[in-house]
Amino acid sequence: MSTATQDTKSAAPPPNDGSPGIGTLLVQSLRANVRQYGMLVALALIIVIFQIWSDNILLRPLNVTNLVQQNGYILILAIGMMIVIIAGHIDLSVGSLVAFVGAFAGVLMVNHDVPWPLAVILCLLVGAAAGAWQGFWIAYVGIPSFIVTLAGMLVFRGGTQILLDGQSLSPFPEGFRKISIGFIPEMGPYTQYHNPTMVIGLAVCAAAVWQEWRGRQQRAAYELDVMPIGLFYVKCAAIVAAVMAFAMTLSSWHGAPVGLLILAGLMVIFSFVMRNTVVGRHVYALGGNQPAAKLSGVRDKRVTFMVFVNMGLLAALAGLVFTARLGSATPSAGLNFELEAIAAAFIGGASASGGVGTVLGAIIGGLVLGVLNNGMSLVGIGTEYQQVIKGLVLLAAVGFDIWNKRRVGS
């Protein structure tokens, strides 16, 4: 039966005369990215609703800063989790690993006065080692990731309690705490806005526009279809407007939080890796069809292993950011973080069978959850209802995905 639909489809391809109209291009692009645009629209809607409902508190500079700081560590985890899910796996241990790394940081910095930059490096190494441990069992021994990381979830949680002996550890050095709650220092003459943040905003705009322009030039050079110039300007203007609005909002408070810069850096790096590098391709191929990837020369075991090492590293970073924000290491840190990260990835367009998803999608998914959390708290919805609503949003997002796929008929 399936061959029937495939045959009729390929039998009548639309004629390709090389210059499709703006409408066709828009429709094509929308259709190809319906999931991501869908969630972007949903995110915008959620923001508007809570902005009105909360009497304009949601988008106040202070609250936007809060949003970034409250969700930074979940977003970091979501990036790693997205990659794990694209590769066709899952990681249930990241919440425990966040706690474990926090505890380890506490032991180093609070108990033994290790200088914080050194402690940060050691913590990241511990995270990578934990990831390597799990990756070894998954990639080379062949134990399903669900089981290995379920074991990891218990092991790391127990390890946290052993390290902390059931107590919380504080205080952490101020320098360390800055990586989460610090802001970029103000520089230059007094203006109404925070100067460095505005400069960064402008730089981001310039980089984004340049990137778009270069991509366009290259596509033209390779004689591929390019977006009509009018539409191109509209797109660039939209990017500039969004970035500058965000930068101005942050600048009228303390400026950009350090955590935001870390997050933005990760987003750029991992988007690039997943989109543009050979390794990224191999991850997608592996999750999309493991036997085919293997027969195509992808070193499946090594790639799987590296994906988990990376997840461990990011979980450690999230653990550091979380501990720095809280100012203490506690045995119950990071509870259910893995579930939030997994939910963010699926809301952001990951496929449960692997091979599909984008880093940007994970960020959007994480923001949907984050804005929901924050917005619902602002308007006084109790945490019990918050959970119900978040659960339903997850179900709706994935349900929409499946409905959409069936409609397209693939």
DSSP-assigned letter for residue 354: S
Residue whose tokens read 């070193």: 299
Minimum Å distance from CB 85 to another protein? 14
Please list the residues that pair with 329 across neighbouring strands: 169
Least distance (Å) between residue 290 CB and another protein: 10
C-beta of 380: minimal distance to another protein in Å? Answer: 43
Q: Which is nearer to another protein, 272 or 385 (CB)?
A: 272
Q: Is the CB of 132 or the CB of 356 nearer to another protein?
A: 356
In angstroms, what is the minimal distance from the CB of 277 to another protein?
A: 5
Query: Which residue number, 9 or 146, has a Cβ lying nearer to another protein?
Result: 9
Name the 3-class secondary structure at 257.
strand
Give me the least distance between CB of 84 and another protein, in Å please: 18
Closest separation between CB of residue 391 and another protein, Å? 27
Rounded to the nearest angstrom, the gap between the alpha carbon of residue 92 and the centroid of all alpha carbons in its chain is 16
Nearer to another protein among residue 223 and residue 384 (C-beta):
223
Could you list the residues that contact another protein (CB under 8 A)? 3-4, 6-11, 13-14, 16, 32, 218-219, 221-225, 276-282, 284-285, 288-289, 291-299, 351, 355-356, 410
**171 vs 265, beta carbon nearer another protein:** 265
SS3 state at 226: coil
Closest CB to another protein among 167 and 276? 276
Query: At closest approach, how far in Å is the CB of 356 from another protein?
Result: 6
164 to each of 6, 107, 110, 323, 379, how far by Cα in Å? 59, 8, 11, 14, 37
**Residue whose CB is less far from another protein, 17 or 384:** 17
Least gap, CB of 66 to another protein (angstroms): 37
Taking the complex as a whole, the smallest distance from the CB of residue 280 to another protein amounts, in Å, to: 8
Q: Residue 23 Cβ, how far from another protein at the closest point, in Å? A: 16
Nearer to another protein, 4 or 141 (CB): 4
Token pair for 132: 């390597």
| Positive/negative CA dihedral, 94, 180, 116, 362 | positive
> Which residues are paired to 183 by β-bridges?
257
Cβ proximity to another protein, 32 vs 154, nearer residue: 32
Query: CA geometry: angle at 268 spanning 266 and 272, to 5°?
Result: 115
Under the phi-then-psi rule, with left for phi > 0, alpha for psi from -120 to 50, and beta for the rest, what region is 243?
A: alpha
User: Among residues 193 and 232, whose Cβ is nearest to another protein?
Assistant: 232
User: For residue 380, how many other CB atoms are within 10 A of its CB?
Assistant: 8
* 166-171 CB contacts, 8 Å cutoff, 24+ apart: 166/331, 167/331, 168/328, 168/329, 168/330, 168/331, 169/103, 169/106, 169/107, 169/110, 169/111, 169/328, 169/329, 170/106, 170/110, 170/327, 170/328, 170/329, 171/110, 171/327, 171/328
d(CA 346, CA 349): 5
Full 3-state SS string of 157-197: HHHHHHHHCCCCECCCCHHHHHHHHCECCCCCCCCCCCHHH
Q: Are 197 and 247 in contact (CB under 8 A)?
A: yes
DSSP code for 136: I
